[in-house]
Amino acid sequence: MRFSTSFLTLATFVSAALAQELFTPASTSGALTGLKYTQVGGSGTYNQVTAMPPGNFPVCDANPSCVTAPKQISGNLAPFNEEMTFNFRGPMNLYNLAVFQPDASGSTWNQASSWAAGQAGKNLVFLNNLGGTASGEFSVCHGNSQSFANGALKVAVATANAEPVKGFVDQDHEVNIMTAETCASRPCDGFSRGTANHGWAGSKMLVVTFDMPASADASKVPAIWALNAQVVRTAEYGCNCRGIGSPGGCGELDILETIVNQDTTHGISEIYSFKGATGSGSSNFFPRPTGERATYAVVLDEQTDSIAIQRLKGWDFAQTSVPRATVDGYLKGPALQVSFATGAKRRMDSGSW
């Protein structure tokens, strides 16, 4: 049987449209398929890193070693409208990644970056915090900077995408993704050191297909989260702008994070900024996909001042653009609604809100 070109084109379009659909059946409590943060942005300050004196080995003799200054911000999505990076901690298999951003009219969201397992990324590089070996730098006061990750996502290499990235992140490592543009080619906001790249600013949508195999060590569990790119360009676990409440808090979004000593088949979501923190709570969670692949869309949208996390039936990663209507479908889809209005409370040690 022969099919006309128009029929095949229509079939391809229908297949791509179906792949973008929200996961069913939808759930907005307990085991979630969708979560939406509203009233995300605001006006306030956070402590931006302006200098990081390295010290003189073998002791950190710089005082202060972490120099900051208040940065005033305001507007929808702030500070999540600033450049962001997406982070992944194993054990996890990554199969596909894509980041979309709106065009000038806002009517179309174009693919800004993409990657598929075993292939070279398009405007996307994998990094880790092993600077001072093959790439990046090390200082006695601040430890390792960012570095380019090798294909196995375990060690540093000298250049970006030097090896095809296989996609498995083991339980002893974490990586993050950035654009291919470096801070050397165009200055980045805030202080940066070693290997430093730009993230994605303004509105953006991450689409990712992954699974999270069982951990061999119960104390090592997987997570997907997003950070203000300034955090990793300084020291992810040291001198940075991350914090909770004014004047700290340049922005962190935990997308799907399993927690040690809690039910590790559950992945919770939390959001932090200068406004405080809130999240899905202990009774609402995304199921950890241990035995099957899962595809999620994470939309950070300035127009609606909201962030949506939605599980999808699938995604056609060959498509290079989607209409605003598709993004609106994720923002308006069934989801647990969590307000991040001023006065949102900080997380307590128990993990409740």
Model pLDDT for residues 215-254, shown as the tens digit of each residue: 999 999 999 999 999 999 999 999 999 987 666 799 999 9
Rounded mean pLDDT, 81-85: 98
Query: What integer pLDDT is reported at residue 352 of this predicted model?
Result: 36
Model pLDDT for residues 202-218, shown as the tens digit of each residue: 999 999 999 999 999 99
Rounded mean pLDDT, 266-282: 94
Backbone angle region of 283, left / alpha / beta, with phi > 0 → left and psi within -120 to 50 → alpha: alpha
Instruction: Share the mean pLDDT of the chain.
Output: 92
Portion of the chain with pLDDT greater than 70, in percent = 90
With beta carbons less than 8 A apart as the criterion, state whether 99 and 113 touch: yes
Query: What integer pLDDT is reported at residue 353 of this predicted model?
Result: 37
Q: Is the pLDDT of residue 345 over 60?
A: no
Query: What integer pLDDT is reported at residue 246 of this predicted model?
Result: 66
Query: What integer pLDDT is reported at residue 248 of this predicted model?
Result: 72
Q: Is the pLDDT of residue 180 over 70?
A: yes
Residues 277 and 56: their CA atoms lie apart, in Å, by: 37
Query: What integer pLDDT is reported at residue 41 of this predicted model?
Result: 97
Rounded mean pLDDT, 288-294: 97
Query: What integer pLDDT is reported at residue 347 of this predicted model?
Result: 46
DSSP 341: -
pTM (two decimals): 0.93
Distances (CA, A) of 255 to 34, 224, 258: 11, 6, 10
With beta carbons less than 8 A apart as the criterion, state whether 189 and 83 touch: yes
Centre a 10 Å sphere on the Cβ of residue 203 and count the other Cβ atoms it contains: 21
Rounded mean pLDDT, 143-162: 97
DSSP 31: B
Residues 244 and 349: their CA atoms lie apart, in Å, by: 14
Query: What integer pLDDT is reported at residue 300 of this predicted model?
Result: 99
Shortest CA distance to 26 belongs to which of 350, 306, 332, 339?
A: 332
Which residue has better confidence, 4 or 107? Answer: 107
Query: What's the one-letter identity of residue 169?
Result: V
Tokens in use for 300?
């950070």
Helix H segments across the chain?
Answer: 5-19, 229-234, 324-331
Model pLDDT for residues 10-66, shown as the tens digit of each residue: 444 444 555 689 999 999 999 999 999 999 999 999 999 999 999 999 999 999 999
Confidence band for 9, pLDDT divided at 50, 70 and 90: very low
Query: What integer pLDDT is reported at residue 19 of this predicted model?
Result: 62
Query: What integer pLDDT is reported at residue 234 of this predicted model?
Result: 98
Query: What integer pLDDT is reported at residue 61 of this predicted model?
Result: 97
| Paired sense of beta strands 34-38 and 336-339, if any | parallel
Query: What integer pLDDT is reported at residue 4 of this predicted model?
Result: 56
Q: Is the pLDDT of residue 155 over 90?
A: yes
DSSP 56: B
SS3 225: strand
